[in-house]
Amino acid sequence: MSFSTFIGLFLGVAIVLVAMSMGSSILIFINIPGLMIVIGGTIAATMIRYSYHEAMHAVAMSFRILMPSNDIKDKNELIDLTEDLLRTSRSKGFLALENMEINHEFYRRGIRMMVDGYSKDLIRQTLLEENKLLVERAETSAGVFASIGGAAPAFGMIGTLVGLIQMLSNLSDPASIGPAMAVAMLTTLYGAMIANLFALPMADKITTWGQEESLRQLMIVDALEAISQGQNPNIMRDMLSPYLETKPLVDEA
């Protein structure tokens, strides 16, 4: 889970809801046909562009980013974990790895294959294929959210045009003009909120997250290789150090 992403989503919606509830009932901001036109139209435009499977992968990836998870995020922790695994496998053999706690699903899967006796090359190849799949899916998923972020304001505008045309065609009751315009403008608001509070930031987030997770996975593939070779821990650290971000200088050495 990306904590700041979760907070950001919650904060954005909360702020807009508070602003809506100040000075009027929040009920005036609910309009089922308007929601239908914006959400339905956005889904329709996205279905033309992407297949059902691609859209589902995008939803799954956004859940994976937003849901709580205790997967290790820090590459230094992954190196420390690798050292533990390495020392265990060197002293007690590969099978002892089965009972160790590994807080990263991709890493866990690699260790399981190792314990099950898969060849080193097959493990590497299988995991690299999964990594390639992650990168492809992250790109497609970011594209799905970008498509939503582009379509939602467009359908917001279409909804507002439909509402304004209905209102202007029937001006018999002047008192109804204001509320009718308010309802017409709701779809523009819906479209802007979907795009700016959700879809466009998520598209950017998935792109960044995919790049970072892919780097962690490639590092784990090399870590598994080191474990299967029974490398010296220091050599393993040297092997993995290029994956680490550059670190700031120790202050005033």
Considering only residues 20 to 59 of the shown chain, the ones binding a second copy according to CB under 8 A are 20, 22-24, 28-29, 33, 36-37, 40-41, 43-52, 55
Distance CA 129, CA 77 (A): 24
Q: Which 3 state secondary structure label does DSSP give 51?
A: coil
Nearest residue (CB) to a second copy, 206 versus 219:
206
Size of the site for a second copy (CB under 8 A): 92
- Spatial neighbors of 228 by CB under 8 A, at least 6 apart, are 94, 114, 120, 123
Please state the closest distance from residue 169 (CB atom) to a second copy, in A: 5
The interface with a second copy within residues 130-169 (CB under 8 A) comprises 130, 132-133, 136, 147, 151, 154-155, 157-159, 161-162, 164-169
Nearest residue (CB) to a second copy, 203 versus 223:
203
Buried-state track 154-191, b at ≥16 Cβ within 10 A, e below 16:
ebbebbbeebeeebeeeeeeeeeeeebeebbbbbbbbb
Query: Residues 96, 126, 215, 218: which binds a second copy (CB under 8 A)?
Result: 126
In order, the DSSP letters of 192-233 are HHIIIIIIHHHHHHHHHHHHHHHHHHHHHHHHHHHHHHT--H
Binding mask 65-104 for a second copy (x = CB under 8 A): ----------------------------------------
Q: Pick the stretch among 213-221, 222-230, 231-239, 241-249 that binds a second copy (CB under 8 A).
A: 241-249
* 113 lies in the binding site for a second copy (CB under 8 A): yes
* 117 lies in the binding site for a second copy (CB under 8 A): no
* 246 lies in the binding site for a second copy (CB under 8 A): yes
Tokens of 251: 């202050």
H helices within the chain, ranges in order? 3-21, 32-49, 52-66, 75-92, 105-115, 120-169, 177-193, 200-229, 233-240
The interface with a second copy within residues 176-215 (CB under 8 A) comprises 177-179, 181-182, 185-186, 188-189, 192-193, 195-197, 200-202, 204-205, 208
Burial of 15 (0-12, 13-18, 19+ CB in 10 A): exposed
* 245 lies in the binding site for a second copy (CB under 8 A): yes
Distance CA 46, CA 56 (A): 12
Nearest residue (CB) to a second copy, 178 versus 230:
178
